[in-house]
Amino acid sequence: MSHKILHSNIIGAGKPLLILHGYFGMNDNWKTLGNQFSEDFQVHLIDQRNHGRSFHADTFNYEVLVEDLYNYIQHYQLNEVYLIGHSMGGKTAMLFAVTYPELVDKLIVVDISPRKYAPHHNAILAGLNSVDFSVDNTRSLVDKKLAELIPELGVRQFLLKNVYWKEKGKLDYRFNLQSLTANNIEVGEALPSFTTYEKETLFLKGEKSDYITEQEIPLIEAHFPNYKISEIKKAGHWAHAENPKQFYKEVCDFLK
């Protein structure tokens, strides 16, 4: 059976460093840091299914995201990779590491923990679904429509990166909104109980984010006994974008 292979940008040479973006994101979100990392590693900036330029599919949950990554690694004949995942990508990375520990040399999880998170993207999904591209046929009109339900400019700018000209005069989203809307409940799923990854694991939490708190530490320790947590200063949930300098240093120190 042939598998669809995830789209990626591969830059640099050396030990493979695979980076997984978050929900509604794409590999482009990591371009700047990816270029920096590529001085020391072969960096794989990956689009997960239903995101960026990767294939669209009705099925969307962490089990299939893990299998997509496994197929990707087999396709490129990689082994003992370094793996970074942010938010949803961090959930994929954690499940991948406990499922295929032999393929992952070190794991870095950005601002997410193994626990279950209640669905909290309802306003974003409602906003995205409220856009009618036959009417909202310029970027500024799309932004204006999104603003009715998504007041935060930063969030809209992040989402607007996914808007592209599908054909002449017709805008569309790169992500598969239909599948992401139908499967939104999956994004908060917990890491299955009694799964562990014994190798070194770094959790990077944003100082201003509440995704990882003291309460999550026993759970992190249960799944990832060889863990360490570092705080990215002056940063929220998008720690890598908000303080890229410290983020880069923390990752390099951990991987060296």
Residues serving a catalytic function are: 87, 237
Distances (CA, A) of 187 to 18, 25, 106, 139, 146: 20, 13, 23, 27, 22
d(CA 75, CA 140): 40
Residue owning tokens 């306003």: 123
d(CA 8, CA 28): 10
H/E stretch holding 50 reads none
Distances (CA, A) of 104 to 18, 124, 213, 241: 10, 33, 26, 24
Tokens of 243: 């303080």
CA 42 from chain centre, in angstroms, equals 18
State whether the Cα torsion 13-28-49-210 is positive or negative.
positive
| Cβ atoms within 10 Å of 222's Cβ, excluding its own | 15
